[in-house]
Structure 1
């Protein structure tokens, strides 16, 4: 699985980027599991992106940061941030807060690579081969098998599950939008603009729908720090680098590996069990992702 720029020499870090991304992204559940008992979801996310802004501000001020050349680029970056952060994170958190089991929400959002692959040809001019389609379907089957024992179809309201579908389309459209309009953005200024857009969005929404109460428990502090450093600065940056150097369908297929990786992390941290169906599902998901990315690898070595 290779996501390297044609003009850059391949390095161990570039080769490891997909693996690092999957691991970091899969740990996002830690923030929700530890933090949400002490703060409402929109307030949680507004605070998270406010902290991201405060951390990035001195970096922006004291470095020669390259800003977008055109005003419309500011707009594109902001829209992408609202889709990737505001739409995806916001509606996933709200869905779970409405009582939808995390397994069902994960399965709904797990359809994302199929939507991206279906639209990548029309919007980005990318071609998805039959082998890649098989891999995408296998990946979805693998995700279902991993979360199967966590599914409880009697839980969660129709409204709550509809929020997960909004999150699904937000991350799918956001991935395509980022690839088409923002792939070459400066990571420092681009992330800073997106933090502002997402932070203002969540702050306004929290004022309308929530009380804004926060109980600063140690678990919340840890969760907030984890989401800021590991997710906002680590995983998101790697995602944008992968989209810069790889096809959208290939990069999106990596999301199939996050539920299996999350299950492994939960096993070690929270003693959550891994049944034989989940273990088999992990293997199926890995095979699916490998099939999606096999063609790109051959093309580079031919």
Structure 2
């Protein structure tokens, strides 16, 4: 997921020269919802509770996307990227506030490392010192939306509702983005380059990622998942260096090392105490299922 999200930065940079941020988001999620509905038709078969949960997830994720895009119009891109990535800090806080989730010290250290790495990768020192404005506040609101979506998905996802949650989440995000883009009229992609961007972002980086995230978060605790997702800017830097020819700097190296160290800390097996893991009080135990179950009965 993080690798695919990192690849979107190069694609979106070119698409923004033709489509506004809200138009691109509306195109992206509409195509993603259509692709999921056609490729996984059994995902439509869900009860009202699953549909409602999926739409709520889509509302949170779509709102986060729009808020970050709007915030970008009055915020330096580096600051916008850093603040938007602060969901890695907000996620464990929301889990503790709403669900009483205890976060082990090892995970807090990983969160701190990920935040340092994110700042090193995303922040340009030249953009600092401008103070906090509306753009920064909107972007922070976006990070709260992303964190809430991660926490909620961790509570909602099971091995059997993955496809349906992904479909209705994508539909919810499409509705939010379409409503926000509607006042100025939604411009549909027309040229070959625009359609390439929309199809890649919609099918691969929206539909496929929605399925991957639902499947993964049925098995990985939300705070751990957020730290791993925080490797997105690292992959973005890799693609920018490999495809766009951006230079390799000490700041990128230090940020990459910090984020990778954080990821290693959250994915290594927890210490055991009296035969039980430290995360025993974590998410509920669920039936383990293979990838093939993604397209199974989601009721």
- TM-score, normalized by the shorter chain, greater than 0.5: yes
2:60, 2:92 → 1: CA distance?
18
* Number of equivalent positions: 274
Kindly state the Cα deviation for residue 184 of structure 1 after the two structures are TM-superposed.
Answer: 4.7
User: Relative to structure 1, is the Cα distance of residues 38 and 171 closer, same or farther in structure 2, using a 3 angstrom cutoff?
Assistant: same
Q: How does 1:96-245 map to 2 (within 5 A)?
A: 96=72, 98-149=73-124, 152-153=127-128, 158-184=133-159, 186-208=161-183, 210-214=184-188, 216-245=190-219
The residue matched to 1:68 in structure 2 has which SS? coil
Match in the other structure for 1:37: 17
Query: Is structure 2 residue 68 aligned with structure 1 residue 88?
Result: no
Match in the other structure for 1:27: 7
Asked whether the 8 Å contact 2:63–2:176 carries over to 1, the reply is no
Kindly state the Cα deviation for residue 176 of structure 1 after the two structures are TM-superposed.
Answer: 0.8
- TM score, norm. by length of structure 2: 0.82
Asked whether the 8 Å contact 1:27–1:262 carries over to 2, the reply is yes
Match in the other structure for 1:246: 220
Query: Is structure 2 residue 45 aligned with structure 1 residue 67?
Result: yes
Query: Is structure 2 residue 262 aligned with structure 1 residue 292?
Result: no
Structure 1 residue ranges without an equivalent (≥5): 1-20
Kindly state the Cα deviation for residue 174 of structure 1 after the two structures are TM-superposed.
Answer: 0.9
The residue matched to 2:127 in structure 1 has which SS? coil
- Cα root mean square deviation, aligned: 2.5
Q: Which has the higher helix share?
A: 1
- TM score, norm. by length of structure 1: 0.81
1:91, 1:185 → 2: CA distance?
31
Structure 2 residue ranges without an equivalent (≥5): 279-299
1:232, 1:155 → 2: CA distance?
33
Asked whether the 8 Å contact 1:49–1:199 carries over to 2, the reply is yes
Kindly state the Cα deviation for residue 276 of structure 1 after the two structures are TM-superposed.
Answer: 1.0
